Copies of this chain bind each other. A is one copy, B any other.
Amino acid sequence: MSNRITQLFGIEHPIVAGGMVWCSGWRLASAVSEAGGLGLLGAGSMTAEVLREHIVKCRQATGKPFGVNVPLMKPDAPELMQVIAEEHVPVVFTSAGSPKKWTAWLHERGIKVAHVVASSTFATKCEQAGVDAVVAEGFEAGGHNGREETTTLCLIPAVRRATSLPLIAAGGIATGEAMLAVEALGAEGVQMGTRFALTAESSAHEAFKQRCLALDEGDTKLLLRKLSPTRLVRGGFFDAIEQAENAGASADELLGIIGTGKSRLGIFEGDLEHGELEIGQVASLLKGSEPPTVQQVFDELLDGYRQAKTRLTGC
């Protein structure tokens, strides 16, 4: 599976663990990198100093490359970037903002840059901005999501046509079969969030993991279209948002319902009733009484990928 993605990041398998709020600390990121993928720290839920601590611990736990995901709309993005540069992190995944803003700055410091998009229009902007790889994330993905609502099956071919950049598919991918499927569509690697959020090494609360490992089809929905479209898990918080939206609530009214700190409350502190729970649609494929380890996930992914390839081609 050596290709442009593995060569770009210096990794063994073209499998990236999304840098998720309240899930992607040093334990998860280092375990993914140790297993031969690219682990990402999720700076979306970290202050600059907390990020520094996680970078230091991640480096102590693995000698292999890892990266940081930085949501560019975060007010302290400049401080986060400063820490990343000072700590010589080799890879940054940027999202939720313009790829033009930080790419040159990061490149000047020898840092590889991938940017997350939900449309071919933004993929073209990535190419113009000079990023090293593009992550195309479909409607299935958990958490924040594109306004176009384009699914991974429709998005990957569109982005593949729009750019010649190394292409990582995201959204709805949790198995080796799905890795092969998006490769058929033109992707050269995958970013998985949900699958790694629900591992032993994820810093999410155990109650959150258990809830997400028991979801049925239809138990996540994209809501909050009047603010920033977000895929949420059914529960008290979800119901409050959905009812308000059905009744025609305005963006301001929705902000009032959301309040602050709800994703920490739900994902990190495990309050399934009042907290905001974010996970991808593909969670309903992942049943189990106990979250697997990252190494178990990698073993299953690689095995499933090989089996699907044999089934598909006889070779």
Contacts and interface: CB of A to CB of B under 8 A. Distances in A.
Interface string A141-157: 00000011111111101
Interface string A120-160: 11000000000000000011100000011111111101100
A285 B281 CA distance: 23
A115 to B, nearest CB: 17
B157 A140 contact: no
B151 A151 contact: yes
Instruction: Quickly give the copy total for this chain.
Output: 2
Interface string A227-254: 0000000000000000000111100000
B184 A180 contact: yes
A249 B218 CA distance: 23
Which size bracket describes the interface of A in this complex? 35 or more
Interface stretch (A57-65, A70-78, A170-178, A256-264): A170-178
Given A218-B147, A313-B309, A153 B138 contact: yes
A298 B154 CA distance: 19
Given A158-B284, A184-B308, A312-B180, A153 B150 contact: no
Given A151-B172, A184-B308, A312-B184, A157 B217 contact: no
Given A151-B152, A184-B308, 6 more contacts: A153-B153, A154-B172, A154-B217, A248-B248, A312-B313, A313-B315
Interface of A: 119-121, 138-140, 147-155, 157-158, 161, 171-173, 175, 177-178, 180-186, 217-218, 221-222, 226, 246-249, 281-282, 284-285, 308-309, 312-313, 315
23 contacts: A119-B217, A120-B217, A148-B217, A148-B218, A149-B218, A149-B221, A149-B222, A150-B218, A151-B152, A153-B182, A154-B217, A154-B281, A154-B282, A154-B284, A157-B175, A157-B285, A158-B285, A178-B184, A180-B312, A181-B185, A184-B184, A312-B313, A313-B313
